[in-house]
Amino acid sequence: MQSKDNTLLQQLPTAARERLLQHCEPFELVLSAELSTRGRPLAHAHFPTEGFLSLVIDVDSHPPLEVGMVGAEAMLGSELILGLAATPWRALVQGAGSSWRIGAKQLRTQINAIPELEALLQACLLARLHQQTLAAACQRYHQIAPRLARWLLMMQDRSHSECFHVTQEFMALMLGVRRVGVTEAAGHFQDAGLIAYHRGELTVLNRKALEAEACSCYAADKAIYRRLMKYSSP
């Protein structure tokens, strides 16, 4: 199941990584599974190796809204470095795959024992906070089409595939917009030859052109990760 690796774990010195993995177990990420519940402390942390997760938040009676995405470049549970506080979001498996899973208490024990792990998780948490702040501004100021292009690129980055299954209804839900807006934007991308879409199966045909359509937040998001995560490198 662990055919790939987690980029975050690769940044640890070999001895530190091997010590941490001794306390982890392979875990299958089943599509649509819920790995955390809003208002409850995390029981486990996850280092995805394949597949990815969506962090979604529920506000009153409104549909859930995506506020973050976690793939093999990061982890679910970096906030455990701060303690066992309840999470404000739900973590849903959006792309099936696998992860290394470790119990929350065991992770905190290893954080105390492995200085490099503590620095890595601090950087990871800081990167996510910066990215979520950027995402909030993106949702407020950017139009649907550029935001959709950004979201599709983020999906492709984490699925490592040009093709993936996603419905227009789901895209609208994750972006927090009406379905008609997504339909119009996706139709524009398809007419321009950027994507192909049929019955929930989406294929990115021209990634470079899709990047040109994406809002500036896509490049900014990646820049945040590179800038903050380099401080944790051994």
| One domain for residues 128 and 156 | no
Dihedral (CA of 131, 132, 137, 140) sign? positive
Query: Helices 115-141 & 104-113, crossing angle to 10 degrees?
Result: 120
Q: Measuring CA to CA, which residue among 229, 227, 218 is closest to residue 10?
A: 229
Same domain, 89 and 34: yes
Q: What is the pLDDT of residues 157-208, one digit of tens each?
A: 998 899 989 999 999 989 999 999 999 999 999 999 999 999 899 999 999 9
Same domain, 98 and 156: no
Domain that holds residue 201: 143-214
This prediction's pTM: 0.90
Q: Which amino acid is at 109?
A: T
Query: What confidence category does residue 4 fall into, taking pLDDT thresholds of 50, 70 and 90?
Result: confident
Same domain, 134 and 20: yes
Q: Are residues 161 and 123 in the same domain?
A: no
- 32-82: per-residue pLDDT in tens? 999 998 888 899 999 999 999 999 998 887 888 898 999 999 999 999 998
Residue 72 lies in a domain: yes
Q: Say whether both 46 and 119 belong to one domain.
A: yes
| Average pLDDT along the chain | 91
3-state secondary structure of 72: coil
Asked if the structure places residue 1 within a domain, the reply is no
**Do residue 157 and residue 77 come from a single domain?**
no
| The two structure tokens encoding residue 163 | 């093709």
Count of structural domains, the chain: 2
Tell me: pLDDT of 2 over 70. no
Can you give the pLDDT at residue 88?
A: 86
Structure confidence at residue 83 as a pLDDT band (50, 70, 90): confident
What local confidence, expressed as pLDDT, does residue 62 receive? 81
The encoded tokens of residue 88 equal 């404000």
